[in-house]
Structure 1
């Protein structure tokens, strides 16, 4: 990560910003592509892979299990190897590593120990570990349902039906689906519980499996059946990370300017595509152009009443915009983001309130009313999306200092330099 002064003075937009931005690749797509390439029947190339802490941790985790990953260039080559021998996996702060890699490690003939940054020991993973046990895998976690834990592979996994509660994270579903085709009986995942959040991420997983010849039946609600069989090697070109577009498009919204995000896909399963609708509801002009997506900000931002259940990762950026809006807002349906990199609802209520926002923390969201904001330190809790909220506020309010802006390196290395360059 790029070292930055701490706290970092967030640049202020002194007029309407007119800018073009090229985003790095999607973390969600990159890490899914790496996992599937490690399980494939031959070599694959992941083109325009995101190079960030989360993706390099994923590459290192798969390499520890026996996969060869050449990440020296823009396009990463992945050659599957025998999943053999004991290994140690550093999850860092990457939920995808902590949740997607254990079902792969279960196919190894060795024992794999998982651990990560201190905060990761508080993030939920017990549903995955219990599901693996139900599928015949030996897992040791001292009944914590959290890091650290050990997966003891036997070279194969029986697979078959398994019931989970994925109401805390859609990654619980994706994790089992990604490896399921390599299990003897495939996998039949049945969700029992509240609504599964961030369903577009499950749809992304299913689409990528089908692209590799894997049969997936998702006709029934809350049930996904992956047939056993090979995972076909496939070269994948990674789309720009649309969730990382949030602060840049927000810059157009708060400055009354225009920002073009280049190469916006015409069709995508990324949750960040919902920004088009959210910003339009807040009064922005949103239009597709041959070069990408162009957003122009209004004279006054309008508040919104939004259920962000399926796109919870956008909540910090949207909450920052709502704090700058001329009318009240209510964001709801996102109780699950309390289990993300930090309790994002509590963190947003505290940090927005610390800058003068009139905000009430709800069980599943935030109520935000118009108020005059002022400068101060905006803490990020080692959470890249919180840093995005901080820089959005700093673009509209004098004297905002973003603590640990370098945490944006989780999905966007060099973010602070790019942001400063626009302002």
Structure 2
């Protein structure tokens, strides 16, 4: 979506009902808080997919419970993998597709559901219709659909390369070798690798085009495959996952470090300390990069066996940052850098134009709307700090923009965050946890 289109959407929101806003609380002094964030969305939904492809049931402990993860469980249920939630977690049963009657999968605006589940539909013997929110129809998926067709799936999309589309299952997927352009999203590659063990010949994927963004998410996929019993191999730009019988009776999900990002940077913005309970000592999550960034900005990040403590000064310099591998952190980092003592440049994130919204256009529009000097570049943002003021910060149904606005609100009174409920995509209790941090 172009910047002009984002502005038109903003104007439509302004002319409509803006009563649904949340007044971002300002910090009254240095922080002294401990917080616990919910489980990782990226890990939870990968674990659910692999559990559905396993031979026996899998108990997924401490999963994220949010709109995206509920959509994933709903999709798996429609495809034939039931689940049951209890105090111990979510018990996912193996995929048992039955019947030949058409079923529907609701995607919402969940990228992982849209990319990870179509391959599973090919394992059954019935038509499966995939569709979701208007926003998901604008998110890129054509390269993945082409690759799935080459691997043996029967997909009808009327040339859109996007939802809605129909997968007509024929009781299995041949698999084999395929070339894939995953430059728009690492999820395309992860989708093929996660499904690979269930294909008759496994899958071999050779990447073409530019490198996929977010290498940590690829590492996350490979790590989870190994935990469930697969034997993925990688040689440069080629990946191989053989046909494998998966099995893992129980798996515990790590806290979501990207969701922890606004809490981690809060100490830098307001001063004081914030402890994030359960931050893992070893992880594939891209959010772990924040520790190094905060130290680079002059803050203190102390990791021990039970969590991470950030101690901040309330002041920090600008920075030049290539966020290609950690693009999902861009909204929070951009908000942080609007409060820096000097100019900053964020690069390597052109792919964010295809996320929940055009994140680069949205950030430039909304941050500038509160007084910051933020301009789009070819692959990122140029940020020149300037005096900020309150106002409505529109979120375009994007959970990360809610978090970015909350960071600004720590230091800028009067920030009104439009549609705060959209943060339920990854953290339904975000507003309460944010307020508790300040109490």
What TM-score does the superposition give when structure 1 sets the normalisation length? Answer: 0.97
CA distance in 1, matches of 2:314, 2:406: 20
Match of 1:55 among 49, 53, 69: 69
Quote the offset at 1:144 in angstroms: 0.2
Give the SS at the match of 2:258: helix
Match of residue 3 from structure 2: none
How many corresponding residue pairs?
Answer: 419
- Residue 186 of structure 2 corresponds to residue 176 of structure 1: no
What is the correspondence of 1:291-310 to structure 2 with a 5 Å cutoff?
291-310=306-325
Give the SS at the match of 1:154: coil
What is the correspondence of 1:134-153 to structure 2 with a 5 Å cutoff?
134-153=150-169
Match of residue 312 from structure 1: 327
Deviation sequence 1:45-82 (CA, Å, 0-9, x none): 00011100000100010011111111243511011142
Quote the offset at 1:138 in angstroms: 0.7
User: After TM superposition, where is structure 1 displaced by more than 6 Å over at least 4 residues in a row?
Assistant: none
Give the SS at the match of 1:347: helix
What is the correspondence of 1:218-233 to structure 2 with a 5 Å cutoff?
218=234, 220-233=235-248
Quote the offset at 1:233 in angstroms: 3.0
What is the correspondence of 1:86-165 to structure 2 with a 5 Å cutoff?
86-165=102-181
Quote the offset at 1:304 in angstroms: 1.0
- Residue 276 of structure 2 corresponds to residue 261 of structure 1: yes
Give the SS at the match of 1:84: coil
CA distance in 1, matches of 2:19, 2:296: 36
Match of residue 205 from structure 1: 221
CA distance in 2, matches of 1:279, 1:25: 22
Match of residue 189 from structure 1: 205
Give the SS at the match of 2:427: coil
**Root mean square deviation of aligned Cα:** 1.2
| Contact 2:229-2:248 at 8 Å conserved across structures | no
Match of 2:297 among 272, 275, 282: 282
Deviation sequence 1:323-378 (CA, Å, 0-9, x none): 00001111100001110101111110001100000112101101111211111111
Match of residue 77 from structure 1: 91
Match of residue 358 from structure 1: 373
| Contact 1:332-1:366 at 8 Å conserved across structures | yes
Match of 2:255 among 232, 240, 251: 240
In structure 1, stretches of 5+ residues that fail to align are none
In structure 2, stretches of 5+ residues that fail to align are 1-17
Match of residue 328 from structure 1: 343
CA distance in 1, matches of 2:327, 2:406: 19
CA distance in 1, matches of 2:387, 2:431: 26
- Residue 279 of structure 2 corresponds to residue 251 of structure 1: no
Give the SS at the match of 2:382: strand
Match of residue 387 from structure 1: 402
CA distance in 2, matches of 1:123, 1:416: 27
CA distance in 2, matches of 1:87, 1:73: 30
